Amino acid sequence: MRDLVEFVIDGIMQHERMQEQSQRQQAHASRMKQRQPLADQPVRVDGVGHQVEASSKDKNQALWKASLQFEAIFVQQMMTSMRKTVHKSDFMPSGFAEDMHASMMDEAIAQASTKHSNFGLAKSIYRQLEAAESTRTQPISAQEISRVADKLKMTDELTMEATRNAH
């Protein structure tokens, strides 16, 4: 389940990055049309001249937005599944229009519920992914790598010894 959540959120965040990039390209194109000098625009660069990575605030906002979108998708799927369990009456005929209306209503309910944060799923997803991201960005020391390698070597030796003793 965690892999699915990370996959969906990664896809959403990637889509948002692509949108931001296209917006930047459009803004650049409009500046070129107006022949506005680029010196007036603030540019974030490091000492070597490379663009600085997005700030943690921007990343956190993108992560929160992706978490909310995932919660909305989850709630919509839940509403659709719940609707399938209800017995349909033969009193009124149903068709494509009714199914489309139900789908749109499920989506609207899901979007409204995430705006009011009634479920709390987005908050949980955000906390888990934020913690995973913070642990992932911390560098691993050479001593820690050596210690883990020693443990793996020891377990291999123990496994081989146990296999020899078993035969």
Coil vs helix vs strand at 45:
strand
At residue 51, does pLDDT exceed 50? no
Number of domains in the chain: 1
DSSP letters for 104-147: HHHHHHHHHHHHTT-S-HHHHHHHHHHHHHHHHHSPPPHHHHHH
Decide if 22 is inside a domain.
no
Decide if 85 is inside a domain.
no
Q: Which two tokens stand for residue 127?
A: 């906390």
Decide if 117 is inside a domain.
yes
Decide if 74 is inside a domain.
yes
Decide if 143 is inside a domain.
no
Decide if 141 is inside a domain.
no
Phi, psi angle pair for 55, to nearest 5°: -65, 160
Decide if 41 is inside a domain.
no
Domain range spanning residue 121? Answer: 1-9+61-80+102-135
How close are the terminal C-alpha atoms of the chain, in Å? 40
Distance CA 31, CA 60 (A): 29
Q: What percent of the chain has pLDDT over 90?
A: 0
- pLDDT at res. 9: 75
At residue 159, does pLDDT exceed 50? yes
Decide if 19 is inside a domain.
no
Residue 32's pLDDT band (boundaries 50, 70, 90)? low
